[in-house]
Amino acid sequence: MSATGNLFAQQVANRKASRRLVAGFILFVAWLGFGGDFIWWLASRSAGDTGALHVFPGIGILFSVIAGTMAWVGYNYGATMLMKASSAREIDTPSTEAEQRLVNVVDEMSIASGIRRPHIWIVPDKAPNAFATGVKPEESHIAVTEGALETLNRDELQGVVAHEMGHIANYDVRLMTLLTALVGMVALVHNFGFRMGRIGGGGGRRSRSKNDGMGVVVIVLLVLWIISWLIAPIVTRLMVMKVGRSREYLADAMSAQYTRNPGALADALVKIGGSNIKPRAIPKSSAQLCIADPFHSKWDEREGRVANLMATHPPLRERVQRLREMAYQNAGTVESLNSPLSMSEA
């Protein structure tokens, strides 16, 4: 069996990939903030004026405070705001057979995952989909659309719920909340970074008269820092999307572990991906939290490096193929993703 067909090997590989991506993301953001302080320190040091030496990393600390504030807001209020934005209603006491089935499935997957049962919500949307939110397993939420309850059979619904439980167990929502906060911070201080770059640039020009070698280093670093800020909003967003895509593969593998039925999730993804119903309740800004992109971005099913960066989710074709391999099923059934007729029959 290939590595993609071994769910535990896939979990290990995806965790390693996520760690590398997150580490790279944090280093890049740290360079944006504290890199400016470092360049400023080099410029003032080479200028020879000890009174003007820049020693306090104010730029980096300011960026950290802004990012921390945004992360705190998302940490404490993100789940509530998302549920309100999607007009979801929480199930306290099931009133229909479909709601009771959903509650039973969530209870089963809570036991399988060893996680406290999350709050259960239904989103009034006919487009089949689901998402999880909440920054810790003890206070998490799972939302399923009305379309998913109507479209998916019990096994498929179980696979979808198990996927979302995998996100909760792996702290994916917390991770994406923090990374999204950093992206927002970069966008907010984008112009401010250019102003600090001009200040650092002045120091670099003064340093050339005293130490040409150090002046060249300062200028090169300053140019790299300014270029980094030019591309920062794009780079940080693409890195978050890349992290999110790797976590989707991991959640698929966790679903297979909890249900021991990876084929059911594959069937559910085929149905969800084949739906032509446009979502009305799910905010577009929350598309990356859904089990599959509800807006069917043109990048979702493309392959290659550009598509890997631009899409919020991995290609459904690839996800279904991996799940089919775990279930020892014929990978050729993935072709049904391209057939509207097969979708309606699935």
- Looking at the annotation, which residues are catalytic? 164
Which residue, among 142, 177, 148, 154, has the nearest Cα to 101 in the 3D structure?
A: 154
Token pair 């809570």 is found at 110
- Buried b or exposed e, range 271-281, using 16+ CB within 10 angstroms: bbbbbeeebeb
Going 113 to 118 to 122 to 126, the CA torsion angle's sign is negative
d(Cα 326, Cα 304) in Å, to the nearest integer?
24
Which ranges in the chain belong to alpha helices (H)? Answer: 7-47, 58-85, 97-113, 146-151, 154-169, 172-188, 190-208, 212-259, 262-274, 305-310, 316-326, 340-345
Residue found under tokens 């993804």: 269
Contacts for 290 with CB less than 8 Å, ≥ 6 apart: 129, 130, 131, 282
Cβ 39 vs Cβ 211: under 8 Å: no
Residue in this structure with the two tokens 């991996």, named with its chain if needed: 322
Tell me, what amino acid is at 20? R
Would you mind telling me the total number of residues written for the chain in this entry?
Answer: 346
Is the CB of residue 246 less than 8 Å from the CB of residue 309?
no
Structure tokens at 304: 């290659």
**DSSP notation for 256-284:** HHHHS-HHHHHHHHHHHHH--PPPSSS-G
